[in-house]
Structure 1
């Protein structure tokens, strides 16, 4: 049977605009499916949950068309599931996909279901993410590449360095973890990604937003500016010639195309709260909330965490990144106390280093280009590995002096 041991660790494609009906026999399974219906990846689908199992489904569709997907719970020990499935097949439309939720872990039964045209067999107890993954997989193109992972980086308040960290994390993912990555600057009016990468591309994210009818893979590829072998930039124009009152789904087509092109997309989300920015953050696979260790950041971060936990009950919680820590002569909230107030553990604590950050910004360089082995670049590399599922950081290539230095260190120790 298909391996769904940990579907939460994989990127699950949003379920398309389809109709789904579930016929359950137990309240536990019904509750799980209802929870799945509220998930961010099920926003386009219409799902209805009813009781009665396969018998109720057969009766309901004698005089009504079947939906795109049928979820049927079956208790193998109570009735003959194969006979129930045969009866259901007599009223089921040819295009309907059937997912059976059973309570028996039996390979022979699974094979009988598949021979009868069942698309998937899930074994109870189930969880919402398993249900979503099963439905999503039904509509995946055979042999299609896995979807790219979206990482939204958002500041708890303005001026906490969220954009700078987003750019450097994207750089680290591409360089240290060898993952093809796009950094998308979504701050159309004031974006700084072009400056930070010392690039001035003639086209960028605005062209995609203001000409959505032209969006396809070739068009988006022309908008990307190459930064390194593994890193491309989708820059913002940073001009004020038009307002940016975008609709909620303004970026949807662009993000869908990017997810089919590269394994990782880092979204530099500006510190605004609009319908589209809210959707970008809630819809991301990973979320980094960047905050400074002070009270306004704590209040805003708490609001963000509360909202995101409520809106994403089946996702990993957002990750807290504390930036500009240990600024001289500034009273601060201790990192441990800050994280405790949010009921999380800080994913990263980045120390205040105005010389390094200032030089990188003024030179249009990444932090690692100025100080390859600094503690800050190590922190951001580790964070990049965490959000992409690559916990181990790729070590820098050893220099010719390293064996000599290691030998001297051993002599000194002895």
Structure 2
């Protein structure tokens, strides 16, 4: 027995293979059996079956998918990657022997591409490298950082973060993490229904960050959502550098698809560094003169989207219909930027849900729909409701034009 086979025998539950046809699944099953694995780990259905399976099961360490027969394999692999955390190594299998395809697959984050026929020694060597994490120069996927902050306190940042986390993990089936960086008055444990230490204090004070220890220290909210937080304290330690904080964020992005930071409006040490490096920055504001001033100053500090970082300005009526609200157009003129999304006021429905458990968005359906749109925008997708509305508008316009032409 060689070293590769010994490695593969350690944990068969961390491997799944989806072949294009039942016949090929049978052949791959025989090969897996020869490597000491269960033949039933090889299934038919190709990449479509892999996506459907991954939405309802924890991702394995190694996922092999046959892309034969798929008209848009790169798009399908991107969809598969969205429901598998970055620690899952995706290996593509196909009949094409094309250098450009191979390069595109590796650039998209696929661990490796195996051209058919896949021999037993090639399969064993690839699985061994994947288990050991020995990726090619491009074959490594990384998650994304979504930093959420407010123009001032009371803009509903923590509620929006918790709502986004629930939607991304439960509705979008994405492996997600929430970092509650409000170390004075953090609310994420309450909003997400978690009790106990969630590892943030230890991660910030530790000299080295080990991904395995970090994941064990984090609080698990559901199968696809973890929390990194600490018990609120009036005098939190500031014994960490900006580099250490960013290294923590990078480690989280190797563990989860979406890492959502709840950043206090008071801008404690490290907050601006996270905002400066996040792939998506969401800034919540109320339409008041004070928030317009604060937001204008913050936008000048963190920069625009010229470096490829997505910026979303979201108006949130967290305080209800209070006095002092200015017109949206005036607000946009002052901050020199348009508002991307407006969230409706949820009233007391959300606070009432916390008396019986975690945040329940079902009590505020209008806010829930708006947060679904925000989740799409934050992850680079077109909001489904916006698409439908645009389609309906175009359809009505076409009907009017057709009637005029008749």
TM-score strictly above 0.5: yes
Does 1:268 pair with 2:259?
Answer: no
Aligned residue in 1 for 2:344? 351
Does 1:315 pair with 2:308?
Answer: yes
CA distance in 2, matches of 1:153, 1:348: 14
Aligned residue in 2 for 1:206? 201
Aligned residue in 2 for 1:194? 189
Q: CA deviation at 1:141?
A: 4.5
SS of equivalent to 1:354: coil
Q: CA deviation at 1:331?
A: 3.2
Q: Supply the RMSD in Å over aligned alpha carbons.
A: 3.1
Aligned residue in 1 for 2:56? none
| Alpha carbons 2:183, 2:236 under 8 Å: kept | no
Shift in alpha-carbon separation, 1:350–1:284, aligned structure 2, 3 A: same
CA distance in 1, matches of 2:369, 2:340: 13
Aligned residue in 1 for 2:29? none
CA distance in 2, matches of 1:329, 1:167: 24
Aligned residue in 2 for 1:339? 332
Q: CA deviation at 1:352?
A: 2.0
CA distance in 2, matches of 1:385, 1:171: 13
Aligned residue in 1 for 2:375? 384
Query: Unaligned stretches of 5+ in structure 1?
Result: 1-8, 10-109, 115-119, 121-139, 395-414
SS of equivalent to 2:348: helix
| Alpha carbons 1:293, 1:334 under 8 Å: kept | yes
Does 1:360 pair with 2:353?
Answer: yes
Aligned residue in 2 for 1:151? 146
Which one is further off, 176-185 or 328-337? Answer: 328-337
Map 1:40-51; keep pairs closer than 5 Å: none
Query: For 1:34-63, what per-residue CA distance to the aligned partner results, in whole angstroms no more than 9, with x for missing partners?
Result: xxxxxxxxxxxxxxxxxxxxxxxxxxxxxx
CA distance in 1, matches of 2:184, 2:206: 17
SS of equivalent to 1:328: coil
Aligned residue in 1 for 2:35? none
SS of equivalent to 1:315: coil
Q: CA deviation at 1:229?
A: 2.3
Map 1:61-210; keep pairs closer than 5 Å: 141-142=136-137, 144-210=139-205
1:228 to 222, 240, 244: 222
Query: Unaligned stretches of 5+ in structure 2?
Result: 1-77, 79-98, 108-134, 386-406
CA distance in 1, matches of 2:175, 2:301: 31
SS of equivalent to 1:281: helix
Q: CA deviation at 1:241?
A: 5.8
2:274 to 280, 286, 290: 280
CA distance in 1, matches of 2:371, 2:198: 28
Query: For 1:292-321, what per-residue CA distance to the aligned partner results, in whole angstroms no more than 9, with x for missing partners?
Result: 1111111011111122226x6322452111
1:327 to 311, 320, 333: 320
Q: CA deviation at 1:274?
A: 4.5
SS of equivalent to 1:233: strand
SS of equivalent to 2:155: coil
| Alpha carbons 2:169, 2:176 under 8 Å: kept | yes
- The runs of 4+ residues in structure 1 deviating greater than 6 Å are none
Q: TM-score, normalised by structure 1?
A: 0.56
Q: CA deviation at 1:275?
A: 4.8
Shift in alpha-carbon separation, 1:245–1:385, aligned structure 2, 3 A: same
Shift in alpha-carbon separation, 1:308–1:334, aligned structure 2, 3 A: same
CA distance in 1, matches of 2:136, 2:207: 24
| Alpha carbons 1:150, 1:267 under 8 Å: kept | yes
| Alpha carbons 1:151, 1:387 under 8 Å: kept | yes
The structure that is helix-richer by fraction is 2
| Alpha carbons 1:319, 1:347 under 8 Å: kept | yes
SS of equivalent to 1:237: coil
| Alpha carbons 1:201, 1:235 under 8 Å: kept | no
